[in-house]
Amino acid sequence: MRQYRAEIERASTLNRVTSRWIDAHGGEHLVSLAGDQLKDPTLGRHLAMIDLEDIDNADYLIAFTQEENGNSKGGRHVEFGYALAQDKQIIVIGPRENVFYCMEGVDQYNSWSVFYLAWQFWLERGYR
């Protein structure tokens, strides 16, 4: 994800990635919390609130999806739904995973490279 962030921020000084989880919440947590780590919800609640604040501070959400049977805890679906409820522009990189990924205002691209080419086209024409 850091590579994608670098590409976005390098392409346009107007764009800044707000997702602090990309840096593992300050380097304290190298992986997502799961299982026994969630028995005491205090830390999980704190990290979830940070993620929601980051979405609040974003103009749009880029959601990376995956094929069925991927190794994920599903937090991206909550983030997607939160952004959808906030009426954020949403960009899906990968397959549509459920019916909500078909909603108005959700643009889907099969890969990062396809999205990035389209985005470059729009940047050259003055769009963010």
Domain residues for the domain of 92 are 2-26+35-124
Q: How many CB atoms lie within 10 A of CB 52?
A: 15
The tally of CA atoms less than 13 A away on the side-chain side of residue 92 is 26
- On the question of pLDDT at 29 being above 60, the answer is no
Task: Name which residue leads in pLDDT, 30 or 7.
Answer: 7
pLDDT tens-digit series, residues 51-70: 999 999 999 999 999 877 66
φ, ψ at 47 (rounded to 5°): -65, -35
Q: What's residue 104's pLDDT?
A: 93
Q: What's residue 9's pLDDT?
A: 87
Q: CA angle at residue 18 from 91 to 40, to 5 degrees?
A: 100
- On the question of pLDDT at 31 being above 70, the answer is no
Cβ-in-10-Å burial (0-12, 13-18, 19+) of 78 comes to middle
Domain tally for the chain?
Answer: 1
